Amino acid sequence: MEIGSAKILGIHHVTAIASDPQQNINFYTGLIGLRLVKLTVNFDDPQTYHLYYGDAVGHPGSILTFFPWPNSPRGRRGTGQATVTSFSVPADSINYWREHLRTKGVRLEETEEGFEGEETLTFYDPDDLKLNLVAGSRKLDERFTPWEKSPIPERHAIRGFHGITLSEEGYESTARLLTEELGFRKIREEGERFRYEVGSGFVDVPCQPALPRGEILAGTVHHVAFRTPSDDQQKAWRKELVRAGRNVTPILDRRYFHSIYFREPGGVLFEIATDPPGFSTDEPEEKLGTALKLPPWLESSRKRIEAALPKIQLATASQIEKPVNS
């Protein structure tokens, strides 16, 4: 569906729950080679970090973010959740990743999560978040530039999202939202698994009524955000979603993008986020993720916020840098 010229361009970001922030940083920057492009806080809960990882500059479509809740128990993957987050990697990279992750002691799983013709490797982060690497299924998005300080060789580096999997008790209502309201199109179907495409991203919807209902705690996805290119188009989306009977939040200023949120019929929290203004709005690209950044309305509380946050260090594969909020 188009609203005037408004379109969903693909996945903007995926946000998940972690437990220990230092462990999270070490894994995503030092082990799988994403760049920490923004170190900030959850604007709705400023005593919690919000960690953003992505490609070299944090292009929309490459961004995996976390709310670390120290000492959080593990969540439960199940229906009403985004249960798998999949990244694209170059063709012929799966063997490299299998050996790299096995050497580092990461839990691996040979999987049939993908569709026929996709070479897929499943692995789990320290909180048991389920991740896929998918190679060779499509031309890689040339926007996504690997981080130059990544421990992963550029020829094997992650190139943004391949897609997400929404586990649903039933799929029909979710399918109607995707196709009739958000402009996705169904491109594949195998058994009770359906694939929808919009822009540069895929959403897989397996119908899994035997699964328990998901519980969002550490190791699970909190929400999935889709891209829209401008504030005007986001306003158009909000108007149309309200007209369709969705309960949609007001437009919220997330500093690096603007957001609206609503739940799809199966229960997954969706967001539509703008591409601009981007992560260099408050620090230059060469300094992304190297200091705690707060929005203007929280700066007066900086000392109190820093005192409440756990101390962390920025980690790469070869060095541990100085504490950033000591």
Where do the domains of the chain lie? 11-323
Residues 32-51 have a mean pLDDT of: 97
* End-to-end CA, the chain: 49
pLDDT digits (tens, 9 = 90+) for 191-227: 999 999 998 889 999 999 999 999 999 999 999 999 9
- The larger pLDDT score, comparing residue 326 to residue 240, is at 240
Q: What is the pLDDT of residues 127-145, one digit of tens each?
A: 999 999 999 766 677 789 9
Indicate if the pLDDT at residue 273 is higher than 60: yes
Q: Which residue has the tokens 């973010």?
A: 65
pLDDT confidence of residue 286: 95
**Torsions phi, psi for 143 (to 5 deg):** -65, -30
The tens digit of pLDDT for each residue in 42-71 reads 999 999 999 999 999 999 999 999 999 999
- β-bridge mates for residue 323, sequence order: 313
CATH number of 11-323, picked from 3.10.180.10, 3.40.50.970, 3.40.630.10, 3.60.15.10: 3.10.180.10
DSSP 3-state assignment of 39? strand
Looking at residue 315, what is its pLDDT?
Answer: 59
What pLDDT, on a 0 to 100 scale, did the predictor assign at position 221?
A: 98
How does the average pLDDT of the chain come out, rounded? Answer: 92
Answer yes or no: is pLDDT of 1 > 60. no
pLDDT in the model for residue 118: 81
**Buried-exposed string 255-277: b where 16+ CB fall within 10 A, e elsewhere:** bbbbbbbbebbbbbbbbbbbbee
pLDDT of residue 111: 62
